[in-house]
Structure 1
């Protein structure tokens, strides 16, 4: 018979063996690694973004159980971009308005579970809240930004930020950069060339209120700040503001105001065909590829690509001088 001592030694040896085996298995096992980057940008080419990073369990929870399908039709896309890295393999997506994820490189759609879609939309709305400005009427904006007040301007394409002072303006704000350094930064927004082109911006007040706005980049008119390297002023527009020469809001400035609020699609869907054609021509005139694609939603891809190629080749377009169309500036939230 095996003695009690012998049995005890065998038991201890077996226990040690299984413990070591478990340790070896645990050391060799690698849990799936996953990372999901979610960001909001005004356009595919924008370098300014707000983003969040989900890792491992949280990322897998959104990604797993999703179904991928092949599709030839380009969907209606949003301003949310998603990069998923799983086990060192990376895929880039753009979120559709439905909440699915579009992979342009592979022409596939990743359909998430309803629960994951809902959570992704929550993250997207959180990012939009921090990225964009709020639309407010010019009457309210000019009260928040009285003459001689200073505030910051953030360009939504490059994320460049500079300080300005409102000097004048009754139908919109006439502003000037505060310093030579601010002027230098502003010129970088326009690729170091002054321009009348409208750009989407966020005005940030000194008490951190963020307002959707639009600006042009051409020094003109009166000058009130010496030694800032900027001869004259430039114009900042808000919802419903107009130019010096018209009682109607400037269409392209209003388009940029809505871009700066993250609601360009809402505006374009409500415009008449006549106004949509004006935006299309404005996009060509400003050489704005992203706006041209946005306003051409639903058009044949060959037609859109033709105009994009024309701009790439240097063809210039100019808007006809005509009476401004009245544009609805209320009731579009």
Structure 2
């Protein structure tokens, strides 16, 4: 299959949802709730999930969706639900150009809630399953940093399509890697990454309505590993900063790592702004969620990279809603991945 339509719809849907999240990003009050695991969720998360699931179900009604959010808290909080409904309606009115392709507007608040709850697939090894994170890096979103809207199509356990909307990354693929947002107005920022397995990866500016022109992206070659730049998570609870520092030292890397939230890290290394991304396990029982890695994995691989877990195993998206068979993530240009992985194994193995 070419997956041309799937990529097109995914990019349009992510672009429109990203525009919705930008509106919330610039508001002081973001309608934040705490989920059962104490992680935050905002009205932007719910609104983006509703828009994307509506678009996917309108175009591919038989496909399943693994979404991060569900609407029970909104059914108990009518004021918050109505606030999100106004956001969703406004997003449709602002994007009439792609409205028809995305299945028309969501007609009611109840239809919006049903769309959010349609992300309840258990995942698995068979059939077509979309993995959706409506705002990856919610803490970055709340602190005014990097975040991403992430969508991927998994077919029979293999990622086939990946799209990342990164509104706070610079449009220019050659811009130096930085987690900072120098210009709060967003000028020169907002990029949409896309990839289909076997067809390469692209970036394009975020726009309104029709998609902007794209260009191919490739990871940067790293002839001398000591010159490499690491990306890592901001939150120490997501990835072991101490292990990361030990690995950098063992590789002879002296440049300070760049810490940013979300799968913006995958997009950044895919276009050569950074080189290596490590997400190292902080506890033995932690299981990564498939929506946190599916889109980024295929984009990096199609840009000339390799992505495995910390033991060298491929990321297994066929086991449900989590990567339960994997521990950590190692993403690097294909030519140096084995070298990086060897050091990762050595550093982590020395702790056992």
With the shorter chain as reference, the TM-score category is under 0.3
What is the TM-score with the length of structure 2 in the denominator?
Answer: 0.25
What is the TM-score with the length of structure 1 in the denominator?
Answer: 0.26
Higher relative contact order (CA 8 A, sep 6+): 2
Larger Rg belongs to: 1
